[in-house]
């Protein structure tokens, strides 16, 4: 009878705790898998768009001019030009980008592949093949990037497309970046396996040990789910609940892994891959945060824009690898400059945006002057050759009550003014008299803030003999390390 009752109790526990908990674990695992796959897809799309944009930038920099398609219908010849240089058949460029990024790349004229790294089953390039006309129509209509799953000669790809336009706004074609969808599926399945194992085993073990522990596991999973949901929605600065990360079990390890994944996604989304400075997208959000905080605290902030002088000449003279080395060196100096002061952003190319937080205009200005001196005197060597560089910068005092876009435009105009008037300088105002007045004002203010310390003694100590004895005793105490009987010093 006792054994029979125990059997019924076990069934009741199975029905009331293990089974519902297991079902709940499966549901949560499915949701986690869905969220992780969505996050993976967004990560892949971001990478594809970055690679397509990089190829577009390389084409703009290496082949200045307008995109033109030359067709000889009689001879059936089609040739694509960028400026006076022909791109048709020039596969070395996109092959090099593919090798560095692991991404299939294609340059389209309208819906036709002109340059591509995608190979047909027979081993030839898929040049001349087309893409779904609905994709081209949408990109041409919206002039916005588009990421879709698409079929190329029977093989499924995840592809992102960006419009290719001439400077007059004419739509010419697209640049596409793609990855094999089967490869993405394998990677997603590899990510799904530990989620399934940890969720199912964790909920089963928790249910068998106690209902209380089961409740704790479910709560931890709910917090992980909530955290993943925030990540998927784009909130990458949330903190995982400490009750998850401090657990000494699979759930805790999963939480820590997700936190590490969050850090990796922050770098991918917020950082410039070459310099590791913040990218422009995150820079705008950071500046908005600084301005809002300034409005609440009343602390000042400053905005500066900088540009490496004659950077194109550096690339042309020493090569693009040397140019990248210069960008990294300058960025490292900016990180040192902005440590505990604010943030540095790679705004685009060789242009940088600096945001001084909780800093008045004068100290920010002097910090930049010191920084420009370091850049002028920097020993930048590449392949044994010293590369001399200078920078031009503009700076304004930030205003939390003014449009940030207008303020960025203003400091950019000051940078442009500096580049038009000699470069290698810090522009605090485009009016020379105003600039001189600003510098003099802050120099005087710094002098006023110097605190002089006066040490006073009782009149009976001012006797030379007593004073010498006092100083000798003080020196002896310092040598012996005895500081317990220090004389009090009064500051005025």
Query: What kind and span of H or E run contains 345?
Result: strand 342-348
User: Do 219 and 241 form a contact (C-beta atoms < 8 A)?
Assistant: no
pLDDT digits (tens, 9 = 90+) for 56-115: 888 888 888 888 888 765 555 578 888 888 888 888 888 888 888 888 999 998 888 888
Residue 282: its pLDDT value, please? Answer: 87
Q: Which residues of the chain have pLDDT under 70?
A: 1-19, 72-77, 200, 204-217, 234-237, 430-492
DSSP 8-state class, residue 163:
E
Chain-centroid distance, C-alpha 106: 26
Which two three-digit tokens encode residue 130? 């087309």
What's the pLDDT at 460? 44
Superfamily of chain region 41-184: PAS domain (3.30.450.20)
Exposure string for 301-333, b = 16+ CB within 10 A, e = fewer = bbbbbbbbbbbeebbeebeeebbebbbebbbeb
- Residues 82 and 56: their CA atoms lie apart, in Å, by 12
Answer yes or no: are the C-beta atoms of 93 and 51 closer than 8 Å: no
Per-residue pLDDT, 442? 62
CATH class of the domain at 280-448:
alpha beta
Pairing of strands 351-356, 302-308: antiparallel
Please name the residues in contact with 323: beta carbons below 8 A apart, sequence gap of 6 or more: 311, 314, 315
Whole-angstrom distance, CA of residue 60 vs CA of residue 83: 10
| Residues paired with 343 in a beta bridge | 355
DSSP assignment string, 309-326: TTHHHHHHHH-HHHHHHH
pLDDT at 486: 39
The closest of 103, 78, 291 to 184, measured between CA atoms, is 103
Cα 14 to chain center, whole Å?
49
pLDDT at 377: 92
């Amino acid at each position: 009878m006792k054994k029979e009752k125990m059997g019924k109790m076990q069934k009741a526990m199975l029905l009331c705790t293990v089974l519902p908990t297991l079902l709940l674990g499966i549901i949560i695992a499915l949701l986690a898998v869905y969220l992780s796959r969505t996050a993976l897809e967004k990560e892949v799309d971001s990478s594809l768009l970055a690679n397509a944009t990089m190829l577009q930038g390389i084409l703009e920099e290496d082949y200045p001019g307008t995109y033109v398609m030359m067709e000889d219908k009689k001879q059936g010849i089609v040739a694509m030009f960028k400026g006076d240089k022909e791109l048709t058949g020039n596969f070395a460029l996109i092959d090099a980008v593919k090798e560095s990024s692991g991404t299939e790349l294609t340059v389209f004229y309208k819906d036709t592949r002109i340059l591509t790294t995608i190979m047909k089953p027979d081993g030839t390039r898929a040049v001349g093949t087309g893409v779904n006309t609905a994709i081209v129509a949408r990109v041409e209509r919206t002039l916005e990037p588009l990421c879709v799953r698409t079929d190329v000669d029977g093989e499924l790809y995840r592809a992102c497309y960006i419009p290719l336009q001439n400077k007059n706004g004419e739509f010419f074609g697209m640049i596409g970046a793609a990855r094999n969808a089967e490869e993405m599926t394998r990677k997603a399945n590899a990510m799904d396996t530990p989620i399934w194992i940890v969720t199912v085993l964790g909920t089963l073990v928790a249910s068998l040990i106690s209902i209380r522990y089961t409740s704790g596991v479910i709560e931890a999973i709910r917090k992980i789910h909530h955290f993943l949901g925030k990540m998927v929605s784009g909130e990458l600065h949330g903190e995982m609940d400490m009750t998850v990360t401090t657990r000494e079990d699979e759930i805790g390890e999963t939480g820590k892994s997700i936190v590490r994944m969050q850090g990796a996604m922050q770098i991918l989304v917020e950082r410039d891959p070459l310099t590791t400075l913040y990218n422009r997208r995150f820079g705008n959000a950071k500046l908005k945060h600084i301005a809002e905080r300034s409005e609440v605290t009343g602390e000042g902030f400053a905005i500066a824009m900088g540009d490496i002088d004659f950077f194109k000449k550096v690339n042309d003279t020493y090569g693009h690898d040397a140019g990248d080395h210069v960008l990294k060196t300058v960025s490292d100096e900016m990180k040192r400059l902005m440590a505990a002061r604010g943030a540095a952003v790679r705004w685009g190319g060789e242009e940088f945006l600096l945001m001084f937080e909780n800093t008045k205009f004068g100290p920010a200005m002097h910090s930049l002057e010191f920084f420009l001196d370091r850049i002028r005197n920097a020993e930048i060597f590449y392949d044994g050759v010293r590369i001399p560089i200078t920078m031009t910068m503009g700076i304004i005092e930030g205003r939390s009550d003014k449009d940030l876009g207008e303020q960025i435009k203003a400091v950019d105009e000051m940078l442009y003014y500096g580049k038009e008037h000699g470069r290698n300088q810090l522009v605090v105002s485009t009016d020379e008299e105003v600039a001189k007045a600003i510098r003099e004002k802050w120099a005087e203010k710094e002098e006023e803030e110097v605190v002089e310390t006066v040490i006073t003694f009782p009149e009976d100590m001012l006797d030379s003999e007593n004073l010498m004895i006092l100083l000798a005793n003080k020196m002896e105490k310092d040598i012996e390390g005895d500081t317990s009987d220090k004389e009090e010093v009064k500051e005025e």
